[in-house]
Amino acid sequence: MAVKHEQENGLLLDDDGRTRRTGTLWSCIAHIITAVIGSGVLSLAWSVAQLGWIAGPIAMLCFAIVTYASVVLLSGCYRCPDPVTGTRNYSYMDAVRVNLGKTQTCLCGMFQYLYMYGIGIAYVITTSTCMSAIRRSNCYHEKGHAAPCEHKDIPNMLMFGAVQIVASQIPDFHSIKWLSVIAAIMSFAYSFTGFGLGFAEVIGNGMIKGSIAGVPASTRTKKLWLAFQALGDIAYSYPYALVLLEIQDTLKSPPPENKTMKKASMIAMILTTFFYLCCGCFGYAAFGNNTPGNLLTGFGFYEPYWLIDFANACVVLHLVGGYQLFSQPVFEFVERWFSEKFPSNGFVIKFYNFKLPLLPCFQINLFRICFRTAYVVSTTAIAAVFPYFNQVLGLLGALNFWPLAIYFPVEMYFVQNKIEAWTRKWILLRTFSLVCLLVSIVGLIGSIEGIIRAKFG
């Protein structure tokens, strides 16, 4: 149990010398729900539509159970070697480094930073489609639902990329406190709007659309690919392994942090799953076989147009900040590596003072400007080449699900608890990991097939 002591200035400290943590069960639940609910909720109705009325809800429940199992395994790695009294690990990478060594840490870093890069691409796609949806919504309202109101996404992507190039140069942009608050408010706003519109549409229809088998496809093979892709989309919506230990690091002790985290995760998963089922199922019930890939941009809804505009604007505001939240760790890692590799290179390490009228003086670094600009340009370019919302989300969900949410937590649990090979618990967790690997593989295959089909017909 952590021992508290006082500093000379009166501040209470934890056993690691940091300011005393004050997080509670309820603050932990709020952090988890905020971390989980995001743009992935917009694809859930489409996912349920592909899987049908039985397999769709069951898949969501299964992912919720697997996510909680991952939490149980990972929360014990916050402290090592003992989960209650051991030394703290402040991040996912710290826990992997302490438990699994350098090689596995490099592998983990590769998956983590690849996933963050992919999130940037997905956010460019989502933001551009939402910006186009706002223009189409206004056009349909003014000229009628049959009017030719299509708008290209490329200009919106370029606009979003330009904003991110500027934002990426702002020091510690991702650490601005109000950024997370705004992101959370926007996330809940568009998520509840999507749910409310679906619910209202079902009431207006006076019937529940859809079928047990889901949306029919031209061939059984195509139906299978779409079902696999739907699993990838659902996988994208659930796991929060990358931020779990950071959330756990906010909790006060006693009670032990891992105990509070498990309880908070159970409550958060129940609430999130209920909300996901409502969004996914009401969306499918409202539109049946015509369920759009993105509930807010596929134009199953035309009115009230101002509410659709508001929801899409919330998505845009959320993802403008969200892009930086996922990109800044990549920036910091690459820049730190280059500064260590080339400690005497002026291009890499030298900073210059820069002053704009009416703004405070700040420092610029040529390598930082070039790398961060190239990073944003590359995510924007890839999004422009592959602007496919559901397929890209499914790809990211499949890439993230097994390695980061299952494999590393299982391996760390083996090491920390000294689980011997071929014991009952070892066999059970190995089987669990293998099944999740298969789910990731089929989700990955389905999403890649979807991208190829969308791109080349």
How far apart CA 164 and CA 321 sit, in angstroms, is: 9
Contacts of residue 160, defined as CB under 8 A and 6 or more positions apart, other chains included, come to: 124, 127, 128, 131, 320, 380
Contacts of residue 240, defined as CB under 8 A and 6 or more positions apart, other chains included, come to: 32, 35, 36, 67, 247
Q: Is the dihedral of CA 457, 383, 389, 114 positive or negative?
A: positive
Closest listed residue to residue 86, CA positions, set 420, 417, 430, 440: 417
How far apart CA 280 and CA 285 sit, in angstroms, is: 9
Closest listed residue to residue 293, CA positions, set 122, 43, 41: 43
30-89 residue pLDDT tens: 888 888 888 888 899 999 999 999 999 999 999 999 999 999 999 988 888 877 778 888
Say yes or no to pLDDT of 5 above 50.
Answer: no
> What's the confidence (pLDDT) of residue 19?
63
State the average pLDDT for the chain. Answer: 87
Share of the chain above pLDDT 90, in %: 49
Closest listed residue to residue 174, CA positions, set 364, 380, 327: 327
Say yes or no to pLDDT of 175 above 70.
Answer: no
272-311 residue pLDDT tens: 999 999 999 999 999 999 999 888 887 666 778 888 899 9
Say yes or no to pLDDT of 178 above 80.
Answer: no
Say yes or no to pLDDT of 207 above 50.
Answer: yes
**Global pTM value:** 0.89
Residues facing 303 on adjacent strands:
none
> What's the confidence (pLDDT) of residue 4?
42
- Alpha-helical (H) ranges within 288-345 are 305-341
Q: What is the DSSP letter of 213?
A: S
Closest listed residue to residue 241, CA positions, set 392, 399, 103: 399
Say yes or no to pLDDT of 16 above 60.
Answer: no
Say yes or no to pLDDT of 173 above 70.
Answer: no
- Whole-number Cα distances in Å, 346 to 183, 339, 342, 350, 366: 37, 10, 9, 5, 9
338-394 residue pLDDT tens: 999 888 888 888 888 877 777 777 778 889 999 999 999 999 999 999 999 999 999
Residues facing 22 on adjacent strands:
none
Share of the chain above pLDDT 70, in %: 93
> Where residue 17 falls among pLDDT bands split at 50, 70, 90?
low
Say yes or no to pLDDT of 105 above 80.
Answer: yes
388-444 residue pLDDT tens: 999 999 999 999 999 999 999 999 999 988 999 999 999 999 999 999 999 999 999
228-270 residue pLDDT tens: 999 999 999 987 888 888 888 888 878 888 899 999 999 999 9
CA dihedral 20, 68, 182, 114 (to 10 degrees): 100
Contacts of residue 346, defined as CB under 8 A and 6 or more positions apart, other chains included, come to: none
Residues 328-344 have a mean pLDDT of 89
> What's the confidence (pLDDT) of residue 252?
84
> What's the confidence (pLDDT) of residue 131?
92
> What's the confidence (pLDDT) of residue 270?
93
Say yes or no to pLDDT of 333 above 50.
Answer: yes
Residues facing 79 on adjacent strands:
88
Q: What is the DSSP letter of 2?
A: P
Say yes or no to pLDDT of 7 above 60.
Answer: no
CA dihedral 438, 443, 445, 448 (to 10 degrees): -160
Task: Give residue for tokens 């090689």.
Answer: 103
In the numeric block, which tokens belong to residue 130?
């939402």
Contact criterion met (CB below 8 Å) for 184 and 18 = no
